[in-house]
Amino acid sequence: TRGLLVGRMQPVHKGHIEVIKRILEDVDEVIIGIGSAQLSHTLRDPFTAGERVMMLTKALSENGISPSHYYIIPIQDVECNSIWIAHVKMLTPPFKHVYSGNSLVQRLFIEGGYEVTSPPPFNRESYSGTEVRRRMLADEDWESLVPKCVVKVIEEIDGVNRLKHLSKKEM
Ligand code: ATP
Ligand code: MG
């Protein structure tokens, strides 16, 4: 059996890895959809789909999760929520189970006849993309919220400076 998890993963954090491990207790293969794949270089979506694929691949490997157990698939947004499920289906291997804490994602898949599960929260106050990005801008400890190899990727692409630069007002 296969399960789907969709997230923007801006950036990949330890909560994503915990959820993926939890999903792999239920299903043989997890399809990880990288949402809003077309977005990058904004305060809410700083990293490209390619950068996020790199973060996720390395983090899964670091956690001993074999490539035979997952697919990583970038998924661009579509204008119409009502056709989003068909768009996701077009891009992914077949799946029956969907895991999401996001109410829009839940609603669309429920209406599409899928079995939808809300993953249990793992340290949700800190293991959150919003919190990681906030800490990056505030020069607080964000590194402890993401896997070690994700820290390395963000350093390689100068990610914190990218975010800080984007947050500056025009002069
Ligand atoms: P942002 O604050 O930018 O939305 P996020 O932490 O919600 O970031 P997403 O990529 O949006 O990260 O997460 C995708 C999905 O992964 C969420 O809808 C949720 O179902 C699940 N998830 C993410 N972090 C956790 C966590 N700490 N515990 C449980 N589920 C999580
Ligand atoms: Mg989210």
* ipTM of predicted assembly, 2 dp: 0.99
Architecture of domain 2-166: 3-Layer(aba) Sandwich (3.40)
- Kindly report the protein residue whose alpha carbon is nearest to atom 1 of ligand 1: 129
Q: Is the beta carbon of 102 within 6 A of some atom in ligand 1?
A: yes
> For the segment 112-145, what is each residue's pLDDT rounded down to a tens digit?
999 999 999 999 999 999 999 999 999 999 999 9
Q: pTM for the full model? A: 0.97
CA of 44, closest atom in ligand 1:
3
Give me the residue spans of the domains in the chain.
Answer: 2-166
Dist CA 71 CA 129 (whole Å): 21
Cα(32) to ligand 1 centroid in Å equals 12
Burial 10-47 (b: 16+ CB within 10 A, else e): bbbbbbbbbbbebbbeebebbbbbbbbbebbeeeebbb
Neighbours of 75 (CB within 10 A): 21
Q: Is the beta carbon of 46 within 6 A of some atom in ligand 1?
A: no
